Amino acid sequence: MTLRLVYRLYGGQNRKNRPDYFDKGTCLASFLVAARAADAEAVVLADGPLPAPWRELAERGARVIDIPGGPVGLRGSYWSALRLPDRLGWPDDDVVYFCEDDYLHRPEAFVALRSATEAIPAAGYFALYASTPDNPTADGSTPWGWRPAPDAMMDGQRWVNVPSTTSTHGVRLGALRADLGIIRQGMIPYPERFLDHEILMVCQGALPYSPAEIVLGRAATRFRTGYRAVAANCVLTPFRLAFELRALTRRRQPHLLYAADPNLACHLETPMLAPQVDWPAVARDGEAAMQAALADA
């Protein structure tokens, strides 16, 4: 098994609520430090032109591949990343970690990920960042009907079966190729985003909606009131039913998602920071690593 890392890097910024220590160059540096510690093959997938310091840093620690015609946006870059393993001829038994550019990684993150992939054969997906029962990063609620598989412990790191995470996660390539139809289906309803929560529920053979949510949608994504809500639900209810049926077909061969608890990476949006880790200190270390790498150029 070869561990490969694919980092999607966009040269611009957005208006999300960020902590004071957020910096894309620091996030990239923390990723490259963790990749070096695990001796993992890293690819930086550039979505459009990059600031010179970022490109220089990326080229010092990874293979840089430019997305043709970029920037192609969130959905386009995600799909480009998912198709990259076929483009590069990577085999089914490899594990690929797909990463967005606003995450900090602890230095031991990918060493622990490699251990988990070898020790939890039932897992198809692996999250270094996710909400867990003991360390929630969101509202802490459990999806309707969710029944987790048993926890696992490797080298002092606990791993728990969770319903979902973001599009930053690891996956066995054989599982990914089997699930590409599910992922594509989860990209249909909305033009600017995709249903990452529902996708990972379905891949695990878990029903993504409660009976009420089939009609109304999940609270996080539904239109609240008015004609727009009625019209949207008339269109989306058949889609939700189809996704429920897709989950039932996965129950005989689920691809479970296991997450590190406490987290080994952090999505740097202020309302969703992972607890129990000194992320400002991780950021300072990443900043120091970036400055050192650029100074050696």
Domain boundaries, the chain: 3-182+254-295
Q: Give yes or no for residue 251 having a pLDDT over 90.
A: yes
Query: Left if phi > 0, otherwise alpha if psi is -120 to 50, otherwise beta: which for 94?
Result: beta
Q: Give yes or no for residue 224 having a pLDDT over 60.
A: no
CATH topology of domain 3-182+254-295: Spore Coat Polysaccharide Biosynthesis Protein SpsA; Chain A (3.90.550)
Output the pLDDT for position 267: 96
User: CA dist 21 to 17, 56, 153, 283, Å?
Assistant: 12, 21, 31, 7
Output the pLDDT for position 192: 72
Global pTM value: 0.94
CA atoms within 13 A on the CB side of 47: 20
Average pLDDT on 116-143 reads 92
Pick the residue with more confidence: 13 or 283? Answer: 283
Q: Give yes or no for residue 229 having a pLDDT over 80.
A: no
Average pLDDT on 152-179 reads 97
pLDDT > 90 fraction of the chain, expressed in percent and rounded: 76
Closest CA to 38 of 144, 126, 110, 118: 110
Q: Give yes or no for residue 222 having a pLDDT over 60.
A: no
pLDDT band at 16 (very low <50, low <70, confident <90, very high): confident
- List residues bridging with 65 in a β-sheet: 45
- Pairwise CA distance, residues 3 & 263, whole Å: 19
Output the pLDDT for position 30: 96
Averaged confidence pLDDT in the chain: 92
CA atoms within 13 A on the CB side of 125: 30
pLDDT band at 240 (very low <50, low <70, confident <90, very high): very high
Give the angle 97-150-221 at the CA atoms, nearest 5°. 60
Q: Give yes or no for residue 139 having a pLDDT over 90.
A: no
Output the pLDDT for position 138: 74
